[in-house]
Amino acid sequence: MPRPPLNDWFVTTHRFARIAPALFVLLWSSGFVGAKFGMPWAPPLHFLVARFAAVLAIMLPAAPFLRVTWPRNQLLIHTALAGLLVQTGYFTCVFMAMHTGLSAGMVALIAGLQPVIVSIFAGLVLRERRNRLQWIGLALGVAGVFMVIQNKLGHGNVTGLGVALAFVALVSISLGTVYQKRFCNGVDVVATSIIQCAVSLLILLPLAALFESGSIHWNGQFIFSLLWVVVVVSIGAIGILLWLLRHGEAGQVSGLFFLVPPTTAVIAWLCFGDELSAFMLAGIALTMLGVYLASPRN
């Protein structure tokens, strides 16, 4: 009997399965802080091109040692299309929205609607059902996210373009989450990451060359930011997200995104001394309660 791919053997251990949700939230949330260091030094598309290229430079040489199983034919196409939504569309629109001046708080508030959107799509496409208690949990999650970031909503320039980009990012990752679960459920996690980063790079490289006049200012701060979003977010967090989608319901996994704005607020408090008031702490508690109630196991 052939041995399973090394990466599948690792992530299916009982210990990893228990810590994976919390680890995903922590790593994904830290990406907003990491990006904050690098965005002043690169146009958004150039930043993303460097990000996806660096991921491929790390993961492609490692693929033979990880015994990656590559998808073929229609499964390969489905994996690439899911990447257009989960990676290309989402990250491009988030970076562009913040580049227009839209505050991270406003982007987080809009992205905080993702679990609700995914639950609706998952019910229609995947036949995942939510009971009344779970819908109450989703509503509490949205309310908790708003409590955490409400003091940041006035910061930055609220433009129609920025808001539209944030909503496109929301729809993109919501559709991508359901699509990934529906059509790519059995695809090797590492193969998925490599294929989706390659597709994103092929699309964004010419767009960056054609539509952005600036260039990357390579300095220590940008390199630190790039390494952080590459290793911690693109390899770590997204790898865990793909594994969670492979082993759980799309609605349950998307509910973890409620915890991202509160976790980001705590990280920003630790790293930058940002405000963390009693009202925000109450919002964090409400968000955690919402995620618990929205879990399909309740």
Please give the Cα distance from 230 to 189 (Å, whole number): 16
pLDDT at site 245: 83
The closest of 192, 1, 158, 2 to 85, measured between CA atoms, is 192
pLDDT at site 224: 93
Instruction: Assess contact for 19 and 175: CB atoms under 8 A.
Output: no
Beta-carbon neighbour count of residue 160 at 10 Å? 8
The closest of 249, 189, 205 to 46, measured between CA atoms, is 205
Least confident of 70-74, 186-190, 222-226, 269-273: 269-273
- Highest mean pLDDT: which of 115-119, 147-151, 206-210, 242-246? 206-210
Q: How confident is the model at residue 56 (pLDDT cuts 50, 70, 90)?
A: very high
Please give the Cα distance from 117 to 258 (Å, whole number): 12
Average pLDDT for 94-104: 81
Domain boundaries of the chain, sorted by first residue: 19-294
Q: What ranges in 88-236 are assigned the alpha helix state H?
A: 90-99, 104-111, 114-125, 132-149, 160-183, 189-211, 220-227
Q: How confident is the model at residue 3 (pLDDT cuts 50, 70, 90)?
A: very low
Whether residue 276 has pLDDT greater than 90: no
Average pLDDT for 112-125: 73
pLDDT at site 155: 57
Specify the higher pLDDT residue, 275 or 59. Answer: 59
